[in-house]
């Protein structure tokens, strides 16, 4: 096969990382055989059957990709500084011209060319972007309108009138960058950890070393008032730890041996010895920062709508200006229409709202992975919940104990604990935990055997005055298979529980009821969901129908599906999506497919699996289910503000355009009205950043109540 090749020259140099990303993007085209990317040149080898139109599409893709890469390379802080500088220069230029006009009118008139050049220099960014939109994208944009207004003001002999427009336009852009920067720097600031040294524990002694020297597997000490700089697990010690940077919890979490700790947490009281599991960019905090920064680039559908609407309204402004000039021949009125632009308010306020919402959520321990999910949260009308670990705590506990006549509770429990001593089954762990809580000691068994899907069987010697024997712990079916028939009477009225039957030799000596308790505040959370517009709440579980029915009834859940496989969960989610917007809440590996298929997948709690967190659109690190309400409130409140901004922008600018066309206002006032409206809607979006308990979320809680 013959191959063709071509070159594309880049206007700006790319660094190594940008070149690698661009090459990877080009290689996705199946007609591309090979590609090399230099700093300013792209060389492509392609199959001969490629048409000129396909090559043109590749060129267009190159331009768009390079533009996105270069935009991403500019940080919000750099943009903020640039817009602040331009706004100050514009205001200073306007003030200087006004002073000159009032103090020396003749000199003011004589410096017309100099004033015009100064204004064009200040507006160079808008002129470049405006021309680029027409030449490269074949479509005028907001900067095209601004550039036309500036040039028209210069031609009309009033260049200073456009300085107000430039100052206020830069001010609005500055506020948008401020929202993005505040969201980023708040989280990124935590990543720096503000602590350069750590106590490394070696041979029982502590040594102060730079944070960079700590590696996975090391043991460190954290004392009162110090910030934990790694992810790890407590080896020894007790402490109250403020981990609000990860979970958003306001109250300190108590940490003991085997408790997980996270970088960015602060030891408020106590001391901990910690085994290092993750350092630097591998920590949970670093992962959060990375995802928050990526989320800023994921546009919500409403942002795309705002962009399209803004692009549509720019030509409308030009057409309006042309009609006014044709009817009146009045350049003042033409400038009025050119100075008034719908697109700034629509695009800037929407982008600011999304950035502010993502930042505000992250500060509360709620990680939203994109603006598109903010909008989906606002539209959520169906909530699907996994049972184990989501509706429930996820840690089985003994709910009740029933013993045969003549058998003590301690006797029966210790025999069961001895038989289950080496089992890691959650029900066995619940028994062992109960024994620890009672400060009892389980007797050692002589031998034990696991009967798959049935239970445990062990030979336990006599202990503490209690009789030993062949102990069987398991299901009713397991005992019946071994000739132990008297299991009915003891289980009367206990049909909806997870039951473990305990037998000694051929005699049933007790029944242990184990249940996974409902997560605290979960029922209150579900009730609040209904008040926030959720029409249907569904539970999905692999548990038995009897257990599922009891949980659904106690929680007033609309419907449930029990004894289902992980792939079945995604099937049910897809069915529910056909009639509404679905939020799926889960925490485990078996929830990952359903989380990925839902409109908004939410992983809840500190015990969530990595795959659940990766598959979800929203990650909540707190165990508090009320964070689900905060998440829904976030989406609804953000979209309320976006809609308010849309209405205000269209109403104010339409009124200003009418007044401008009628000659009732000057170009200066047209610029002031338009840009003041833009600043107002951007500031309205920034209100989301006021997300403390007495602010954004609290107002919504009061409204729900």
- What is the C-alpha separation between 558 and 552, in angstroms, rounded? 8
- Coil, strand, or helix at residue 178? helix
Instruction: Count the residues in the chain.
Output: 705
Q: Are residues 163 and 310 in the same domain?
A: yes
Q: Are residues 170 and 302 in the same domain?
A: yes
- pTM check: above 0.75: no
Mean pLDDT (whole number) for 48-62? 74
Assess if residue 19 is contained within a domain.
Answer: yes
Asked whether residue 527 carries a pLDDT value surpassing 90, the answer given is: yes
Percent over 70 (pLDDT), the chain: 82
Asked whether residue 700 carries a pLDDT value surpassing 60, the answer given is: no
Q: Tell which residue, 150, 8, 163, has the closest CA to residue 98.
A: 163
Range of lowest pLDDT (228-242, 295-309, 331-345, 443-457): 295-309
- Percent helix / strand / coil, the chain, rounded to 5: 55, 20, 25
pLDDT for 471: 95
pLDDT level of residue 219 (50, 70, 90 thresholds): very high
User: What residues make up the domain containing 215?
Assistant: 196-228+230-278
- What is the C-alpha separation between 616 and 598, in angstroms, rounded? 9
Mean pLDDT (whole number) for 6-28? 70
pLDDT level of residue 291 (50, 70, 90 thresholds): low
Q: Tell which residue, 162, 169, 170, 150, has the closest CA to residue 94.
A: 162
pLDDT level of residue 419 (50, 70, 90 thresholds): very high
What is the chain's mean pLDDT, rounded? 80
Assess if residue 92 is contained within a domain.
Answer: yes
DSSP 539-585: EE-SS-HHHHHHHHHHTT-SEEE-S--HHHHHHHHHHHHTSS-EEEE
Q: Residue 253: what are its φ and ψ, rounded to 5°?
A: -95, 140
- What is the C-alpha separation between 461 and 505, in angstroms, rounded? 12
240: CATH: 2.70.150.10
Asked whether residue 307 carries a pLDDT value surpassing 80, the answer given is: no
Q: Are residues 172 and 304 in the same domain?
A: yes
Assess if residue 626 is contained within a domain.
Answer: no
Q: Are residues 375 and 349 in the same domain?
A: no
Asked whether residue 295 carries a pLDDT value surpassing 90, the answer given is: no
15: CATH: 3.30.70.60
Q: Which residues contact 511 (CB under 8 A, 6 or more apart)?
A: 401, 402, 490, 491, 494, 499, 500, 501, 502
Q: Are residues 508 and 531 in the same domain?
A: no
Please indicate whether residue 570 or residue 31 has the higher confidence score (pLDDT): 570
Q: Are residues 511 and 401 in the same domain?
A: yes
Assess if residue 359 is contained within a domain.
Answer: no
Q: Are residues 534 and 617 in the same domain?
A: yes
Task: Locate 148 and state its tokens.
Answer: 């036309």
- What is the C-alpha separation between 268 and 678, in angstroms, rounded? 44
Range of lowest pLDDT (419-423, 426-430, 485-489, 601-605): 485-489
Q: Tell which residue, 454, 464, 414, has the closest CA to residue 435.
A: 414
Number of domains, the chain: 5
Asked whether residue 694 carries a pLDDT value surpassing 50, the answer given is: no
Asked whether residue 705 carries a pLDDT value surpassing 50, the answer given is: no
Range of lowest pLDDT (364-368, 553-557, 589-593, 665-669): 589-593
- Look at residues 73, 96, 121 and tell me which one is the last residue of a structural domain: 73
539: CATH: 3.40.50.1000
Q: Which residues contact 401 (CB under 8 A, 6 or more apart)?
A: 409, 412, 413, 510, 511, 512, 513
For residue 455, the cross-strand partners are 451, 474
Assess if residue 655 is contained within a domain.
Answer: yes
Is 386 annotated as catalytic? yes
- Look at residues 40, 73, 106 and tell me which one is the last residue of a structural domain: 73
- Phi/psi region, residue 594 (left: phi>0; alpha: psi -120 to 50; beta: rest), is alpha
Assess if residue 633 is contained within a domain.
Answer: no
Q: Tell which residue, 107, 103, 190, 120, has the closest CA to residue 162.
A: 120
Q: Are residues 101 and 169 in the same domain?
A: yes
pLDDT for 288: 59
Q: Name the catalytic one among 143, 218, 341, 386.
A: 386
- What is the C-alpha separation between 112 and 94, in angstroms, rounded? 14
Q: Are residues 401 and 511 in the same domain?
A: yes
Please indicate whether residue 608 or residue 362 has the higher confidence score (pLDDT): 362
DSSP 365-414: TEEE--HHHHHHHHH--EEEEEIIIIIB-SS-EEEEEEE-TT--HHHHHH
Asked whether residue 196 carries a pLDDT value surpassing 60, the answer given is: yes
Assess if residue 236 is contained within a domain.
Answer: yes
- What is the C-alpha separation between 508 and 66, in angstroms, rounded? 75
* 142-155 and 161-192 helices, crossing angle to 10°: 140
pLDDT level of residue 393 (50, 70, 90 thresholds): confident
- Coil, strand, or helix at residue 667? helix
Q: Are residues 402 and 501 in the same domain?
A: yes
pLDDT, tens digit (0-9, with 9 covering 90-100), for 104-148: 888 888 888 888 888 888 888 888 888 877 777 677 777 787 888
- What is the C-alpha separation between 327 and 703, in angstroms, rounded? 52
pLDDT for 431: 93
Asked whether residue 702 carries a pLDDT value surpassing 50, the answer given is: no
- What is the C-alpha separation between 360 and 350, in angstroms, rounded? 15
Asked whether residue 410 carries a pLDDT value surpassing 90, the answer given is: yes
Range of lowest pLDDT (409-423, 468-482, 489-503): 489-503
Q: Are residues 469 and 428 in the same domain?
A: yes
Please indicate whether residue 697 or residue 650 has the higher confidence score (pLDDT): 650
R_g over Cα of the chain = 33
pLDDT for 704: 41
Q: Are residues 159 and 36 in the same domain?
A: no
pLDDT, tens digit (0-9, with 9 covering 90-100), for 379-390: 999 999 988 888
- What is the C-alpha separation between 284 and 291, in angstroms, rounded? 11
Asked whether residue 171 carries a pLDDT value surpassing 70, the answer given is: yes
- Look at residues 586, 621, 656 and tell me which one is the last residue of a structural domain: 621
Task: Locate 478 and state its tokens.
Answer: 């397991």
Assess if residue 64 is contained within a domain.
Answer: yes
Asked whether residue 191 carries a pLDDT value surpassing 50, the answer given is: no
């Amino acid at each position: 096969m013959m191959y063709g090749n071509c070159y594309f020259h880049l206007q700006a140099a790319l660094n190594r990382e940008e070149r690698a990303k661009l090459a990877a993007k080009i290689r996705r085209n199946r007609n591309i055989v090979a590609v090399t990317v230099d700093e300013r040149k792209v060389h492509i080898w392609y199959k001969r059957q490629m048409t000129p139109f396909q090559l043109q599409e590749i060129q267009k893709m190159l331009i768009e990709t390079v533009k996105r890469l270069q935009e991403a390379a500019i940080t919000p802080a750099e943009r903020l500084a640039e817009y602040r500088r331009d706004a100050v220069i514009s205001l200073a230029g306007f003030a200087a011209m006004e002073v000159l006009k009032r103090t020396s009118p003749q000199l003011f008139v004589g410096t017309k060319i100099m004033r015009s050049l100064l204004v064009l220099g200040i507006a160079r960014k808008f002129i470049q972007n405006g021309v680029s939109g027409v030449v490269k994208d074949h479509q005028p944009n907001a900067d095209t309108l601004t550039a036309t207004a500036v040039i028209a003001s210069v031609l009309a002999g009033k260049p200073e009138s456009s300085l107000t427009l430039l100052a206020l336009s830069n001010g609005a852009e500055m506020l948008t960058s401020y929202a993005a920067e505040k969201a980023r720097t708040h989280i990124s600031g935590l990543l720096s950890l503000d602590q350069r040294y750590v106590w490394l524990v070696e041979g029982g002694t502590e040594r102060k070393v730079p944070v960079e020297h700590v590696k996975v597997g090391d043991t460190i000490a954290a004392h009162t008032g110090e910030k934990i700089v790694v992810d790890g697990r407590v080896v020894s010690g007790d402490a109250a730890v403020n981990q609000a940077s990860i979970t958003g919890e306001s109250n300190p979490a108590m940490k003991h041996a085997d408790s997980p700790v996270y970088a960015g947490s602060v030891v408020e009281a106590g001391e901990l010895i910690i085994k290092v599991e993750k350092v630097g960019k591998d920590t949970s905090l670093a992962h959060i920062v990375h995802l928050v920064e990526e989320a800023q680039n994921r546009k919500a559908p409403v942002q795309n709508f705002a962009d399209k609407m803004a692009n549509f309204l720019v030509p409308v402004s030009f057409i309006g200006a042309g009609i006014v000039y044709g009817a009146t021949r009045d350049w003042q009125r033409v400038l009025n229409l050119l100075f008034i632009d719908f697109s700034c308010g629509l695009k800037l306020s929407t982008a600011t709202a999304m950035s502010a919402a993502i930042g505000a959520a992250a500060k509360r321990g709620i990680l939203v992975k994109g603006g598109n999910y903010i909008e989906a949260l606002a539209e959520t009308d169906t909530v699907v919940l996994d049972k184990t670990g989501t509706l429930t705590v996820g840690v089985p506990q003994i709910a009740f104990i029933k013993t045969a006549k003549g058998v003590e509770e301690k006797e029966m429990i210790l025999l069961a604990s001895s038989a289950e001593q080496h089992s890691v089954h959650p029900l066995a762990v619940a028994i062992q935990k109960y024994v620890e809580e009672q400060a009892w000691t389980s007797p050692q068994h002589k031998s034990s055997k696991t009967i798959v899907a049935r239970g445990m069987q062990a030979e336990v010697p006599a202990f503490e005055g209690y009789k030993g024997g062949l102990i069987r712990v398991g299901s009713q079916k397991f005992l019946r298979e071994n000739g132990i028939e008297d299991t009915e009477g003891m289980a009367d009225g206990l049909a909806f529980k997870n039951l473990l039957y305990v037998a000694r030799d051929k005699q049933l000596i007790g029944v242990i009821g184990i249940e996974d308790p409902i997560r605290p505040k979960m029922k209150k959370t579900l009730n609040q969901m209904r008040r926030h517009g959720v029409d249907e709440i569904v539970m999905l579980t692999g548990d038995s129908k009897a257990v599922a029915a009891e949980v659904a009834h106690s929680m007033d859940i609309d419907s449930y599906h029990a004894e289902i496989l992980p792939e079945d969960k995604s099937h049910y989610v897809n069915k529910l999506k056909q009639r509404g917007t679905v939020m799926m809440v889960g925490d485990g590996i078996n929830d990952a497919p359903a989380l990925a298929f839902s409109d908004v997948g939410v992983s809840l709690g500190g015990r969530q699996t990595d795959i659940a967190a990766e598959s979800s659109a929203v990650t909540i690190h707190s165990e508090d289910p009320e964070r689900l309400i905060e998440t829904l409130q976030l989406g609804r409140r953000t979209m309320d503000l976006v809609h308010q901004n849309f209405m205000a922008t269209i109403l104010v600018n339409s009124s200003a355009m009418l007044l401008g066309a009628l000659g009732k206002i000057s170009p200066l006032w047209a610029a002031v009205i338009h840009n003041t409206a833009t600043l107002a809607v951007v500031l309205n979006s920034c209100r989301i950043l006021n997300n403390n308990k007495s602010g954004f979320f609290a107002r919504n809680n009061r409204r729900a109540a």
